[in-house]
């Protein structure tokens, strides 16, 4: 067999581990592996590929990012002639299977081409952990660890200066990172897109903590959270090629900085904001991410070898299961019980 593999959307720790797993398992079976550069863009025009062998994937297990490059700006389904170009590239490259590694945008595209008859399987990754059906997405554990470590560090300076510290984390549509990272890092308040709140609610909570004797507070806010009474900038920017509000523009909303300014002006308590931004995506993947990326990578090659196209490996009940790509591509909001658990410690 000849198998292609691409990484699309935002980068996440563990992508290289998945590429390595697909490649090494395929080579063991005597298959040929072709890496597609820069996501779906590498399947357009003449294409942009390289053959992957043991040498090409040697030493990449602990590396962040992706050796194949990625892009969240190219959606061949919405481009004039894009569908024909991708289907032609599959035939021209003589691919027996294509493994697409990505989040909801990448998986939606993969599912679309599977319905057109393309031999597609996939692997789910996103630091937001917001894919449906699967219990885990590559990159989430590493990102949560970064959020928790940031809160550990902010805790010491907050207590020293008796400040409110506001930590803005990624989370365009869902609050997985904010809630789970906040829980792991001992946050005193978490603000997420799934749970509406107001500026007055936040201020009342912080005042109650002060009255109870806590002279500092750690507040985690997801970048996509909407807080009634807080004016944010550029909230109406157009979506990107995959229908998302573009991540750089999400950062320009300034929810962390603006919330900190309101807290300080309204309460008189010194308040500082920290925006983690892309540090949550970068760097060495955790051992957990390396292991799961390896498990789903091996499974994805097995799916390709078995001709299970239109389906992909997912994590269910702590093991590998099967699900249609289209089902996994749907958004999965943070379940209320996770937020309720975090609230115990507010």
70-74, 158-162, 167-171, 250-254: range with lowest mean pLDDT = 250-254
Residue % of the chain over a pLDDT of 70:
95
Q: Is the pLDDT of residue 218 over 70?
A: yes
pLDDT at residue number 246? 47
Which residue in the list 128, 141, 188, 289 is annotated as catalytic? 128
Q: Is the pLDDT of residue 237 over 60?
A: no
The domain in which residue 116 lies consists of 2-138+285-328
182 assigned to some structural domain: yes
Q: Does residue 128 carry a catalytic annotation?
A: yes
Rg (alpha carbons) of the chain, rounded to whole number: 21
Q: Is the pLDDT of residue 236 over 70?
A: no
pLDDT at residue number 46? 84
334 assigned to some structural domain: no
Assign residue 230 the CATH number of its domain.
3.40.50.460
Average pLDDT, the chain: 94
Split into its structural domains, the chain has a count of 2
**Residues 25, 67: one domain?**
yes
Q: DSSP assignment, residue 246? A: P
**Residues 252, 304: one domain?**
no
pTM of the predicted model as reported, rounded to 2 decimal places: 0.93
Of the candidates 36, 48, 11, which has an alpha carbon nearest to the alpha carbon of residue 98?
Answer: 36
pLDDT at residue number 179? 98
pLDDT at residue number 248? 46
346 assigned to some structural domain: no
Assign residue 69 the CATH number of its domain.
3.40.50.450
275 assigned to some structural domain: yes
**Residues 80, 174: one domain?**
no
Q: Provide the Cα torsion 257, 259, 260, 262; round to 10°.
A: 120
Residues 64-118: tens digit of each pLDDT = 999 999 988 899 999 999 999 999 999 999 999 999 999 999 999 999 999 999 9
> pLDDT class for 234, splitting at 50, 70, 90?
low
Q: Is the pLDDT of residue 247 over 70?
A: no
**Residues 176, 100: one domain?**
no
Residue 177, φ and ψ in degrees, nearest 5: -60, -45
Q: Is the pLDDT of residue 309 over 70?
A: yes
Residues 46-76: tens digit of each pLDDT = 889 999 999 999 999 999 999 999 988 899 9
CB 25 within 8 A of CB 297: yes
């Amino acid at each position: 067999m000849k198998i292609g593999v691409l990484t699309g959307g935002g980068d996440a720790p563990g992508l290289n581990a998945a590429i390595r797993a697909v490649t090494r398992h395929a080579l063991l079976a005597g298959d040929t592996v072709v890496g597609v550069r820069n996501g779906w863009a590498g399947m357009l025009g003449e294409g942009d590929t390289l053959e992957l062998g043991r040498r090409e994937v040697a030493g990449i297990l602990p590396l962040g990012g992706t050796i194949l490059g990625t892009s969240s700006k190219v959606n061949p389904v919405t481009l004039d002639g894009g569908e024909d170009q991708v289907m032609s590239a599959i035939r021209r490259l003589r691919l027996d299977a294509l493994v697409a590694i990505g989040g909801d945008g990448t998986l939606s595209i993969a599912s679309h081409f599977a319905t057109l008859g393309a031999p597609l399987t996939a692997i789910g990754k996103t630091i937001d952990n917001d894919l449906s059906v699967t219990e885990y997405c590559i990159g989430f554990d590493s990102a949560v660890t970064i959020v928790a470590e940031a809160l550990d560090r902010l805790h010491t300076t907050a207590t020293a200066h008796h400040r409110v510290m506001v930590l803005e984390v990624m989370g365009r549509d869902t609050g997985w990172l904010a809630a789970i990272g906040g829980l792991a890092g001992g946050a005193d308040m978490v603000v997420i897109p799934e749970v509406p709140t107001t500026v007055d609610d936040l201020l009342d909570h912080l005042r109650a903590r002060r009255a109870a004797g806590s002279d500092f507070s750690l507040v985690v806010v997801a970048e996509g959270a909407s807080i009634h009474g807080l004016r944010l900038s550029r909230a109406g920017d157009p979506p990107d090629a995959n229908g998302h509000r573009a991540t750089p523009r999400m950062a320009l909303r300034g929810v962390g900085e603006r919330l900190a300014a309101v807290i300080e002006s309204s309460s008189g308590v010194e308040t500082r904001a920290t925006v983690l931004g892309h540090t949550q995506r970068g760097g060495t993947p955790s051992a957990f991410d390396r292991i799961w990326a390896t498990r789903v990578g091996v499974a994805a090659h097995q799916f390709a070898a078995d001709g299970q196209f239109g389906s992909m490996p997912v994590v269910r009940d702590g093991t590998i299961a099967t699900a249609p790509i289209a089902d996994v591509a749907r958004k999965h909001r943070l379940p209320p019980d996770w937020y309720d658990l975090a609230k115990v410690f507010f």
